[in-house]
Structure 1
Amino acid sequence: MATDGHGTDAGGPAVPVQEFMALPGRAERREDVYETCLENVVRRLGLDVALETEREDLWTWGHVVRAAIRDACRRGIVLSGESFDVLLRAAVHEPDPSFNRWFIEPALNAFGHRRVQIALLGYLRMGTDLERAGAARAWYWSALPLRMPVVRAENGRATGQAETDDGSAVVAEWNEAALREFVSNEHVDVRRCILPELSLRKSAYPPELHALVDTATGIARSHPDEYIRHRVEHQVGD
C-alpha cells in the first residue's frame, strides 16, 4: 500500500491504510539553503560531526547529520533558543517529508507543541513558497507525543511535562491559514504539501469559511496535477 508520503515510522501518527499516491518530490529545491541549514544545526547543537568532512552528496550528508541528532537526543541534550530556530528552519527545508521529523521532534520535546506549531504557522503565512510547502510537510509531525525525556530547553523546562496551554486555538489558526493558502497560492508544491493535512469537511470550519471549502475542493478536483486530483477524491470521500 502507498502512504501519503510521510512514511510509517514507529511512534508517528497513525496512517490510514488507503491507496494514496505518493507525494511527489518538490518541483522547486534549494540545495544550497538546505546544506546551510544542516551546517547550522551541527554548529548550534554542538553535534559530533566534522563540518570539514568530504561530502559525497547532500543526501548522504543529511543522513549523517540526522543520525547525529538522534544519538544526541538519546544521550541527552540541552537546547538553546537559537537551537529552536535552526531546527525549525532545517525541518522546513528538509526535502524528504519522512526525515523532517528528526528536526521537529527534539524541538517539540524541549519547547512544546505550541511553540513549534506557532513557528510553522509563521512560515506558512510569511515564508517563501518553498518554506510554505516545507512548513505544511513538517506540520504532520507537530502533534507527536513527547518521548524524549532527556531533551531539554536551556531554561530548564521539564521535558514530557504536560503543557498547560490549549493548542486547539493554534490548530484552528493553522487550518484556516492552510485553507486560504491552498485557494490563493497557485504554486504546485504549496498545494501538494498542504492538501494531505487539509480538512475538506465544512464542519471543521466556522460558517464564514464554508464557501472557501467548496472553492478548495473545486480547485483540487480540476487541478492539472495528477497527485492533487487523486488526493482530493480520497479526502472528500472519507
Structure 2
Amino acid sequence: MAADGNGATGSGAAAAEPQVFMALPGRTEAREEAFEACLAEVVRSLGLDVGPGPGGDARRTWRNRARTALRTACLRGTALSEESFDALLRAAVHDPDPSFNRQFVEPALNAFGYARVRKALLGYLRTGTDHERAGAARAWYWSALPLRMPHVRAADPGSVDRAGTDGARAVVAEWNEAALREFVGNEQLEVRRCILPGLPLRKSAYPPELHALVDTAVALARSHPDAYIRHRVEHQVGD
C-alpha cells in the first residue's frame, strides 16, 4: 500500500517523478490492544478456530493466525450474522494497519452490500471518537471494491441493503459532505491526515452551498503546519 495509507499514486505528469508521501500516524500500544479486542470479537462471532488471544510476545502471532483464519473462512464460504457485521466493521475501523483493514471490509461488502457498509462507516465518521473517525476514513477507501467473494453471504438475506445505483450515490454524497465538514472543523491531526486522501477537492463534487467550504478546506490544507497535509493537498488539487 502507498505511504499515504490509501493506495493513491500519481498519474499523468507524476509518472516522470513518483509522488512520495509522508507516513500516516503510527501504532501505539493502546491501539494495538483495542484492535485485538475487536479482532477477538470477529473470531468469536464467526466461530473461527484460533483460540484465545495470548499475551506478551505471542500477540503478533495470534493476530496473524486470526487474520489467516478469517481469510480462509471467506475463501471456503461463510454466512455472516448481524453480530459478525458489527464486529467486522469495528475491526476495520480500529485496525492500526491501513494495509490490512481491507480484510474486514471486503467480506462485509460481499455479504451485506455497498450501501450498508458505507452507512456504517458514515456513522463512525459522524459520531465516533476521533480515532474512530480516522479509522472510518481509512476503511472507506476499500468500500468500492468489486464483489469477488461469492461464497460469503448474509445469514439473514433480509439484512442485505440492496440499494441501487442512486442509493449508493446518495451515501457517497453524504460521506463527502460529512468528511469535508470534519476536515475543516476537526483540528485533530490524525483525523485530518486520514480524511484528506479520500476527500474530493473539486467543487463539482458538491452542491453550490458547499463550494465556499471546499475553498476553505484547500486553503486550510495549504497553510497547515503538517508537511504531509501540505504536500498531499497539492497532489490532489493538481490532479
Q: Are the counterparts in 2 of residues 91 and 134 from structure 1 also a CA contact under 8 Å?
A: yes
The aligned runs of 1:60-79 (5 Å cut-off) are: 60-79=61-80
TM-score normalised by length of structure 2: 0.89
**Structure 2 CA distance for partners of 1:60 and 1:217, relative to 1, 3 Å:** farther
Q: Equivalents in 2 of 1:97, 1:56: separation in Å?
A: 22
Deviations 1:23-79 (A, max 9, x none): 423477522211110111110011110115566254443322111110000111010
Q: CA deviation at 1:211?
A: 0.6
Aligned residue in 1 for 2:164: 164
> Which whole-Å deviations, capped at 9, do the CAs of 1:188-231 have from their partners, x for residues lacking one?
00000000000111111111101100111111111111111110
Q: Distance in 1 between matches of 2:152 and 2:169?
A: 24
Name the structure where helix makes up a greater proportion of residues: 2
Please tell me the residue identity of whatever aligns with 1:78: A
CA distance in structure 2 between the aligned counterparts of 1:27 and 1:216, rounded to whole angstroms: 27
Work out the CA distance in 2 between the residues paired with 1:169 and 1:196: 20
Query: For structure 2, which runs of at least 5 residues remain unmatched after alignment?
Result: 12-17
1:141 Cα offset (Å)? 0.1
- Name the SS for the 2:142 alignment partner: coil
SS in 1 for 2:57: coil
Deviation at 1:155, TM superposition (A): 1.2
Q: How does 1:1-238 map to 2 (within 5 A)?
A: 3-7=3-7, 16-17=10-11, 18-26=18-26, 30-53=31-54, 56=57, 58-156=59-157, 164=164, 166-238=167-239
Q: Secondary structure at the match of 1:78?
A: strand
Maintained 8 Å contact 1:40/1:86: yes
Determine what percentage of the aligned residue pairs are the same residue.
Answer: 65
Residue segments in structure 1 that go unaligned for 5+ positions in a row: 8-13
Q: Alignment partner of 1:223: what SS?
A: coil
Aligned equivalents of 1:106, 1:45: Cα separation in 2: 12
For 2:19, give the aligned amino acid: E
Question: What letter matches 2:187 in structure 1?
Answer: E
